[in-house]
Structure 1
Amino acid sequence: MAARSAEKEPPEPVQQNGLLCERVRKELQCQQLHTQCAVNPLHCVHTVTKKFMSWHDNIDEPADGKPLFLNLIHHATLEPTKKYSQPQSESQEIGWNTPPLIHMDHIDCRFYFPHRTTDIAK
């Protein structure tokens, strides 16, 4: 209890008002009002971002061999047999070679089963 009574007591309202006035005066001296705002000419910044799906924003870009964003998306959606020349995992080895082993002959009825309609289905 004795330690608390030894603490400094809060200043009187007149002294506190003087301290606040001094603080405000010093802050106003250090502040500067800027009325002209401009973009830094040394820093290259686009103020408005482009919309990557809009056709008019992509007209000026040259069509070079570099993969563009849309090409990356289209490449990511391909199936693995079109993306890679060899299977990349053990599970891709199953069914990697998908072309038929024999030629499909539409005349031979043993391997060709077209959809047929019947009177009941109609």
Structure 2
Amino acid sequence: MATDAKKPSDKPPKNIVHEQAILVETIKKELREQKLYENFSINPFTKREILAAKPNTYPDLVQDEADSTFIEMIKRANLEPTKKFQYPQTSAQEIGWLTTPLLDVDKNDRRFNFNRHRSEISAYAEEYYKMFPKKPAGPVAAGGAPPPK
């Protein structure tokens, strides 16, 4: 019974012609999907340090048009998401996206404005607590036994 089971070493020998055909087909697929990139630029959405000019060259005082568009792209990339996009891009951005208040704030409207009012009793309590400040909590205040005498 043990002899009936196939061993891992009983595999048929590799066919070199088939392996070469698979390799040729793989290379054709890769060449078909390959794109040649000729225009390279810096990603404006990553923060970079400003590099100084070369020390042995005279600095140009006139900026090129390409430089101004690149600077605008960098400025736009550094803006807050609410200024870059009209709507939130992720579900996490939905929280706090709308920061404008729904109602205009009216300080005279007592329904929405709860100012601190001082009455005679609150003024008396404030002066009382100024005269007798709270003592630090000891073992008695914490529920323990009083200190020995």
Q: Is TM-score (shorter-chain normalized) higher than 0.5?
A: no
TM-score range, shorter chain: 0.3 to 0.5
What's the TM-score, normalizing by structure 2?
A: 0.31
The structure that is helix-richer by fraction is 2
